Structure 1
Amino acid sequence: MDFSAFGLSAPLLKAIAAQGYVTPYPIQEQAIPAILNEHDILGIAQTGSGKTASFALPLIEQFRERKPTRNRYVKTLVLVPTRELALQVATVFQSFSLYLGNRVKTLAVFGGVSINPQMKSMSGTDILVATPGRLLDLIENKAVHLSEVEVLVLDEADKMLNLGFAEEMDRIFALLPPKRQNLLFSATLADDIKAIKAKLLRNPVVISISSDTDETQVELIKQVAYRVTPEQKGPFLRYLIKQQNMEQVLVFVSSVRNADNLVVKLNKNGLEAMALHGEKSQGARTEALRRFKAGLVRILVATDLASRGIDIQFLPFVINYDLPRSPKDYVHRIGRTGRAGASGEAISLITPEDEHHFKIIQKKMKRLVETHETADVNLQGF
């Protein structure tokens, strides 16, 4: 099956080819025709499964049939939990709109930066990708109106609820017209998601590919762990990066402080690194991610929250410098590599204090991770 089977227009097919897509991923096969037929959708799908394109493509196609958008009255609203994800989703819409004669305007808005440029940029926007808090700010400033929204997308709804957006989302729902198409995507079907489903969706097409995707994705990732002492951690990380000549590596840590400290030590040892965490300004976070994706910086050191918008198709290495709190976060972290059918390697550094927790992670994942001793590794000079 190829994308032409969906009846998409020639400009869209040209943009799809330019982005390197050859055949649709499973979620795209099911979601694209259902959205084009104006069904509500409940999609249970992990990040990295091709989900964003599964709703971006049909929504852009629908704009070919719509009347021009009234200024500041957006037609499509996409709600996301983080700034990075807002930018990522908007970029997908923009890339697929590239060859349309009457370009569909997509704008990402989020907090942490000045609201004034976003207010000015709202003019002529057709598709708005927003974090809930900043959207409410723009509504209060009369920079955008929701009374003509025809499609509402909730992307990563489970994370929005976990991050405490439920009250803000309810305020937004109250401003939307009752007649609209609703597309809800989540990594899990938890009780909170079931409640939103009951509130928002009308006879939805339910697409569930999360479990198969998780298993397939984890199988594609080579996992290995190294036992280290706390004192060895930093030198062994530097040894690994240099010894394996890692040119692009994402390193996860447990806290902002650990991220900043590790970046200082890596740079002191001649390894170009930048930090990505919630205490960085939005400009600094965007620049760090841009430089890392472009290969201008070798190592990105990130906390879990900041990692939500990191989507790099061929990222070769992920390293757990600190283990995450939950097995689910472990799978999310290592899933930054091995995406969209590509292989990747995930490495974990395990101190004696981590041993019990790492056994729990492996048990939940239903997979044993090959673990090596490091006592004989010569770390002098690292």
Structure 2
Amino acid sequence: MADFEDEWLEHEQSQQAQAPAPITYNNTRIYRPSQNRGRGDGGHSNEGNWRARGNSAGGDFSNTRRDFPRRDNRNKKTMFVPSKKIGRIIGKGGSKIRELESESQAKIQIGDSSGDETELSLFGSDEAITKVEEMLNDLLQDYKPPPKDSHNESTDSGRTNEFFKTNESGVQVIDWDKLNSYHDQHQKARWESLPPIVKDFYKEDPEVAAMSPSSVARWRLANNDIQVKRTFDDKPGLRPIPNPIKTFEQAFKHYPEILDEIYKQGFANPSPIQCQAWPILLRGEDLIGIAQTGTGKTLAFLLPALIHIEGQVIPREEREGPTVLIMAPTRELALQIDKEVSKYQYRGIKSVCLYGGGDRKEQINIVSKGVDIVIATPGRLNDLVMAKHLSIINFSYIVLDEADRMLDMGFEPQIRKSLFDVRPDRQTVMTSATWPPGVRRLASSYMKDPIQVNVGSLDLAAVHTVTQKIIFVQEDDKENVLLEFIQNMDSNDKVIIFCGKKATATHISTELALKGIECQSLHGDRDQCDREEALADMMDGNVNILVATDVASRGIDIKDLTHVINFDFPMHIEEYVHRVGRTGRAGRTGTALSFIARNDWAHAKDLIKILEEANQEVPDELESMAERFKAMKLRREKEGGGRGGRGGRGRRDRY
């Protein structure tokens, strides 16, 4: 940046030295037009007006330099537009002008708009200037009143009147039934014009087909007590739920290239959810996969997606957009799914990861060049769908990964808005670690006769390969206990320290750094490049300590993670389960240490259930906390409910 600023200052000084003397017009200093158009600083210029308004006495203009386009060897063209339409070009918060510059690769400088017309200076290559000029003309044309035509006017009036009715009071109101019917007909016509979707690619292995119901039941019981059923009503005419496969060959022997990619990863056997999910997805059914993190859910929906992409009627290069959409709640999970996709090279299939904090312009360029799989967070997906860079109607295989987490984070409006146009005959997959009402509601909206595969109990449970330990501490002693643990770590230990707030994570990582302890931090206040670097440093072994908030509690797969420390106990017990699940993955073992302070007593009862389900030791002190909290609640109810007679947490009610 410093080099750029020096270059800019030198060039400005040179321009000032060579510029002709200014002339005065209506008490405003302006410069005569330069004749050097080839350098991008000729033609009509607004530079003089800008300088006069900014500082008529001259001086340092570095504070406003960012609004003045950098001079380079590109061309410049000037056009004039009505000043009243400048707002249309700028857009809310400058969003429209950024979009115009991004799509055209040109730069737009807006001059003085105090008069009837405003001068626009367009900088860039000939091609870029031509493109942005066409876009600007189209934008302005959209807001010009259409020519009056009596025939069209009467037709439009007739069409509009179709959607109005007179109510009982004689007032004209919108006839929503007719309007909704018209919209439904319009949508149906759009969907019928789309090419058909091929969804059934499954050829059942004879050995799998020969499994008896009793042998299937025994296998499911032995593999984490898998429960399989139709989520909603089991309508007549639906095909029976397919039997599970036991080997990779039974699922993919007709797709040898997929098998080769699996062998390259060194997997010995498919995980339980993969065994049951692959036959369902390859057959084209909608699937709800409920399983704890680290059980292989990503691969369960990814490999059938690759086969789905290649098996469609329209060749990939002739399709109007991507085929597969995978939505994830966090940037880190989206990037990890993208990394997983890149491991499986199948017939040149390409993917893109769209997330807030990433380079939006670059993401749009990648999408425009053509991809097959879009992995996206809800916010950025909604952004690009609304800006018409993506058409959701083209997706025929949609995955909502970690659906419960997306709802917890408040993404349901963005999900519903983005999927408004999704075609009804697509195949939909939903994964979740839990099965709350919100996830059921989402499933009923976007899935057709889904099959639910539940690995283990629907009750909340932590991974059984993790040893869970509870440490009772005073709030002020947490840092000392944490430091003592870190100082006694083995050289091969690797730990994530979870904090409840971004400020706490920043404080802990800073304190460790000041003590000469190498660590990284991961939370929402860090730039995206820093977040990616922090995760990469942990995965590569450059650091062994990551201080994080709950953005790292789901989907992050650090294979050699040995410890999870809950510096602050989470607000919801579900997040405790997900934090613990960062270690003990893929059959490995791990340890979770949780600091429990006085103000965590509300979680004691739920924590006891988690510990008991996993056959972990339950400290007597935790039992005592749960009993005291229950007694306090009963006492408050007797005193008049709410928060008792003190209007808040009284001293006598504290743990």
TM-score (norm 2): 0.53
Write the letter of the residue equivalent to 1:13: L
Would the aligned equivalents of 1:322 and 1:349 in 2 still touch at CA under 8 Å? yes
Structure 1 match to 2:326: 78
Secondary structure, counterpart of 2:321 in structure 1: coil
Alpha-carbon RMSD across the aligned residues, in angstroms, is: 2.2
Pairwise CA distance, 1:128: 0.5
Structure 2 match to 1:316: 562
Distance in 2 (alpha carbons) for counterparts of 1:214 and 1:3: 30
Matches of residues 135-174 of structure 1 in structure 2 within 5 Å? Answer: 135-174=381-420
Distance in 1 (alpha carbons) for counterparts of 2:249 and 2:456: 25
Pairwise CA distance, 1:339: 1.1
The answer as to 2:610 corresponding to 1:365 is yes
Pairwise CA distance, 1:358: 5.6
Structure 2 match to 1:35: 281
Pairwise CA distance, 1:149: 1.2
Would the aligned equivalents of 2:310 and 2:316 in 1 still touch at CA under 8 Å? no
Deviation larger for 74-83 or 240-249: 240-249
Which of these residues, 87, 90, 93, is aligned with residue 341 of structure 2? Answer: 93
Distance in 2 (alpha carbons) for counterparts of 1:370 and 1:272: 34
Distance in 1 (alpha carbons) for counterparts of 2:565 and 2:611: 20
Write the letter of the residue equivalent to 2:522: L
Secondary structure, counterpart of 1:232 in structure 2: helix
Deviation larger for 196-205 or 35-44: 196-205
Matches of residues 30-69 of structure 1 in structure 2 within 5 Å? Answer: 30-66=276-312, 67-69=315-317
Matches of residues 1-382 of structure 1 in structure 2 within 5 Å? Answer: 1-8=246-253, 9-66=255-312, 67-70=315-318, 73-96=321-344, 98=345, 100=346, 102-122=347-367, 123-211=369-457, 215=461, 218-245=463-490, 247-354=493-600, 356-357=601-602, 359-367=604-612, 369=617
Would the aligned equivalents of 1:318 and 1:336 in 2 still touch at CA under 8 Å? yes
Structure 1 match to 2:54: none
Write the letter of the residue equivalent to 1:337: T
Distance in 2 (alpha carbons) for counterparts of 1:197 and 1:352: 39
Pairwise CA distance, 1:218: 3.0
Write the letter of the residue equivalent to 1:82: T
Distance in 1 (alpha carbons) for counterparts of 2:605 and 2:590: 23
Distance in 2 (alpha carbons) for counterparts of 1:203 and 1:352: 47
Deviation larger for 106-115 or 304-313: 304-313
Could you say if the C-alpha distance between residues 42 and 236 of structure 1 is closer, same or farther in structure 2, counting changes exceeding 3 Å?
A: same
Would the aligned equivalents of 2:500 and 2:550 in 1 still touch at CA under 8 Å? yes
Secondary structure, counterpart of 2:316 in structure 1: coil
Percent identity of paired positions between Structure 1 and Structure 2? 35
Write the letter of the residue equivalent to 2:508: L
Distance in 2 (alpha carbons) for counterparts of 1:308 and 1:148: 29
Pairwise CA distance, 1:357: 4.1
Deviation larger for 301-310 or 22-31: 301-310
Gaps of 5+ in 1: 374-382
Write the letter of the residue equivalent to 1:365: I
Distance in 1 (alpha carbons) for counterparts of 2:411 and 2:458: 29
Could you say if the C-alpha distance between residues 243 and 286 of structure 1 is closer, same or farther in structure 2, counting changes exceeding 3 Å?
A: same
Pairwise CA distance, 1:272: 0.8
Could you say if the C-alpha distance between residues 350 and 203 of structure 1 is closer, same or farther in structure 2, counting changes exceeding 3 Å?
A: closer
Distance in 1 (alpha carbons) for counterparts of 2:336 and 2:460: 21
Secondary structure, counterpart of 1:147 in structure 2: helix
Pairwise CA distance, 1:212: 7.6
Could you say if the C-alpha distance between residues 242 and 272 of structure 1 is closer, same or farther in structure 2, counting changes exceeding 3 Å?
A: same
What's the CA shift string for 1:313-358, capped at 9, x where partnerless? 331111111111222221111111111211101112233444x346
Distance in 2 (alpha carbons) for counterparts of 1:235 and 1:191: 41
Would the aligned equivalents of 1:110 and 1:131 in 2 still touch at CA under 8 Å? yes
Could you say if the C-alpha distance between residues 306 and 317 of structure 1 is closer, same or farther in structure 2, counting changes exceeding 3 Å?
A: closer
What's the CA shift string for 1:173-198, capped at 9, x where partnerless? 22222221111112222222222222
Would the aligned equivalents of 1:60 and 1:93 in 2 still touch at CA under 8 Å? no
Q: Which has the larger radius of gyration?
A: 2
Distance in 2 (alpha carbons) for counterparts of 1:211 and 1:64: 36
Structure 2 match to 1:380: none
Would the aligned equivalents of 1:44 and 1:208 in 2 still touch at CA under 8 Å? yes
Write the letter of the residue equivalent to 1:364: K
Would the aligned equivalents of 2:554 and 2:582 in 1 still touch at CA under 8 Å? no
Deviation larger for 3-12 or 117-126: 3-12
Could you say if the C-alpha distance between residues 146 and 362 of structure 1 is closer, same or farther in structure 2, counting changes exceeding 3 Å?
A: closer
TM-score (norm 1): 0.89
Distance in 2 (alpha carbons) for counterparts of 1:309 and 1:282: 17
Secondary structure, counterpart of 1:42 in structure 2: strand
Write the letter of the residue equivalent to 1:94: S
Would the aligned equivalents of 1:276 and 1:301 in 2 still touch at CA under 8 Å? yes
Distance in 1 (alpha carbons) for counterparts of 2:464 and 2:328: 28
Gaps of 5+ in 2: 1-245, 622-655
Distance in 2 (alpha carbons) for counterparts of 1:361 and 1:167: 30
Distance in 1 (alpha carbons) for counterparts of 2:577 and 2:435: 17
What's the CA shift string for 1:46-82, capped at 9, x where partnerless? 2211100000011112333232144661111111111
Secondary structure, counterpart of 2:595 in structure 1: strand
Distance in 2 (alpha carbons) for counterparts of 1:87 and 1:62: 22
